[in-house]
Amino acid sequence: MRPRVIAAVLAGGVGSRMGAPSPKQLLPLEGRPIIEHSVAAFEACPEVDEILVLMVREYVGRVEDIVASAGFAKVTAVLPGGGTRTDTSYAALSAMGGAADTDLALLHDAARPLVRPATISACVAALGEAGAVGVAVPSADTVVRVAPGRTGGEAVAQVPPRSELRRMQTPQGFRLGVARRAYALATADPGLVATDDCGVVLRYLPGEEVRIVPGEEDNIKVTNPGDVEVAETLLRRARARAVLAEADS
Ligand SMILES: Nc1ccn([C@@H]2O[C@H](COP(=O)(O)OP(=O)(O)OP(=O)(O)O)[C@@H](O)[C@H]2O)c(=O)n1
Ligand SMILES: C[C@](O)(CO)[C@H](O)COP(=O)(O)O
Whether 145 is covered by a domain: the verdict is no
Which residue, among 200, 194, 51, has the nearest Cα to 131 in the 3D structure? Answer: 200
Whether 240 is covered by a domain: the verdict is yes
Whether 144 is covered by a domain: the verdict is no
Average pLDDT over residues 65-79: 98
pTM of the model: 0.97
Most ligand 2 atoms within 8 A of CB, residue of 87, 106, 109, 202 to mutate? 109
Is residue 227 lining ligand 2, measured as CB closer than 6 Å?
no
Question: What is the 3-class SS of 35-95, one letter each residue?
Answer: HHHHHHHHHCCCCCCEEEEEECHHHHHHHHHHHHHHCCCCEEEEEECCCCHHHHHHHHHHH
Number of domains in the chain: 1
Residue 245 has pLDDT above 90, yes or no: no
Average pLDDT over residues 217-227: 97
* Structural domain boundaries, residue 229: 5-137+165-248
Residue 246 has pLDDT above 90, yes or no: no
Whether 154 is covered by a domain: the verdict is no
Average pLDDT of the residues of the chain: 97
- C-alpha of residue 223 to centroid of ligand 2, in Å: 9
Residue 113 has a pLDDT of 98
Residue 68 has pLDDT above 90, yes or no: yes
pLDDT 10s digits, 6-24 = 999 999 999 999 999 999 9
Confidence bin at 78 (pLDDT 50/70/90): very high
Whether 60 is covered by a domain: the verdict is yes
Whether 146 is covered by a domain: the verdict is no
- C-alpha of residue 87 to centroid of ligand 2, in Å: 13
Whether 11 is covered by a domain: the verdict is yes
- Which atom of ligand 2 is closest in space to residue 167's alpha carbon? 5
CATH number of the domain encompassing residue 190: 3.90.550.10
Residue 1 has a pLDDT of 85
Residue 248 has pLDDT above 90, yes or no: no
- C-alpha of residue 170 to centroid of ligand 1, in Å: 12
Whether 152 is covered by a domain: the verdict is no
Q: Is the ipTM here above 0.90?
A: yes
Residue 242 has pLDDT above 90, yes or no: no
Provide the percentage of residues in the chain whose pLDDT is more than 90: 95
